[in-house]
Amino acid sequence: KFVWSIAASTSAIRLVRKVQESVSALACVLKQPPHKITIGLGPEVAECTLQSWEGEVPGSGAFLTRGDIRSAYQRLFEKHANLRRAMIVAPAELLVNGYPLVWEENWKGDDVLRRKNIKEVNFMTMALYMPTEAGVLFAEVKNGFGGIGIEFLPLVVAEKEAVVLRCGMKDTLIIDVREDATACVAVKGGRFAGVGFTPFGTRRFAEMLARISGNSLSRAHGMLRLHAQGIGDALQLTVPVAAKEIVDEWKKFLVRTLDSIAAAAGSLPDHVVMLGVGAELLEVREALQAGDWLDAFSHTKRPVLRVLTGAAFSGGDTLGGHLVGSEDAGLASLMVYSLYHKPIF
């Protein structure tokens, strides 16, 4: 496990370079090259949106095939490609006549796949948009390690899949409080219902604490970390009061993001899963447990809150101490995705 600290002013191009350096470092440390590398990306690197792509399925056989689906998706990708910006896509779900399609071993026996019964085919696609130069660098990373399969995908895709597969939660609201952003994913019936982001993460928590307490930014980061661990001294006395003020401000941004998701997805689930480094702050957990926000988007006032750590996705096993706190949950979800994901085609 490697951890790098990256400055807030780092450009998207430099972040891609950092990814390239990380893959190189990983390849050097391992005694043999991995068969596959999965890289999760967030809004810090690229604009991320959930889109529904509808198209006709080519082919003439009696039943729908994986080849037909692959051809249809490639046509839709070319249709949605933007020459001014690079795009990385992850086909998250396939809907046939409005229902999710799961490929089984005996899938040809399912009448829903009989071509004459197919009315519409939709791909729920997570798309990452970035400057063309960044896209070129990602292509270099993908093609620069011969023989190793490298997959880029939005981190929220892996988190949703891990929560559904490993935790069995098919109706839930996932809130990931990261360092530079907060990601929100609404899941209904095991499917994506909506995705949203706000550029308010724990880095901004530290910046606000630094202003309130008169300390440096690095000192404020340390104070928050100690506060999350329940460790304090005389200098820490201002943190609980300041943290409450900071989290109240964060919550306003969160509610706006959820409002935009609910406008498209309808009522949101009352089961809330929380992960990310921000989940370790008591004030953040208390803010979500309060009954003053959920009833604007759901049928109940108070959520059923569950905070996930990285070990939650591996049956409580920390894998030698590598998956410990909530900040490791995103990394653990990538592991789950790599091991259990079944591609659409």
Residues 8-42 have pLDDT tens digits of 778 878 888 888 888 888 778 887 778 888 989 88
Rounded to whole angstroms, the Cα distance separating 97 from 121 reads: 6
For residues 155-180, average pLDDT: 95
The CA-CA-CA angle for residues 114, 116, 121, to 5°, reads 75
Sheet holding 47-55, edge to edge: 47-55, 121-131, 85-96, 99-100
Q: Is the pLDDT of residue 111 over 80?
A: no
Backbone angles phi, psi at 84, to 5 degrees: -90, -15
Asked if 4 and 300 touch (Cβ cutoff 8 Å), the reply is no
Single pTM value for the model: 0.91
Other Cβ atoms closer than 10 A to 31: 4
Please name which of 198, 232, 332 lies closest in space to residue 275, comparing C-alpha atoms.
332
Rounded to whole angstroms, the Cα distance separating 190 from 211 reads: 42
Q: Is the pLDDT of residue 198 over 70?
A: yes
| CB-neighbour burial class of residue 323 (10 A; exposed 0-12, middle 13-18, buried 19+) | buried
> What confidence tens digit (pLDDT) does each residue in 249-305 have?
999 999 999 999 999 999 999 999 999 999 999 999 999 999 899 999 999 999 999
Please name which of 179, 79, 176, 167 lies closest in space to residue 125, comparing C-alpha atoms.
79
* Overall size of the chain counted in residues: 345
Rounded to whole angstroms, the Cα distance separating 311 from 325 reads: 8
Pair type for strands 271-275 and 304-307: parallel
> What confidence tens digit (pLDDT) does each residue in 150-166 have?
899 999 999 999 999 99
Segment (H or E) for 268: none
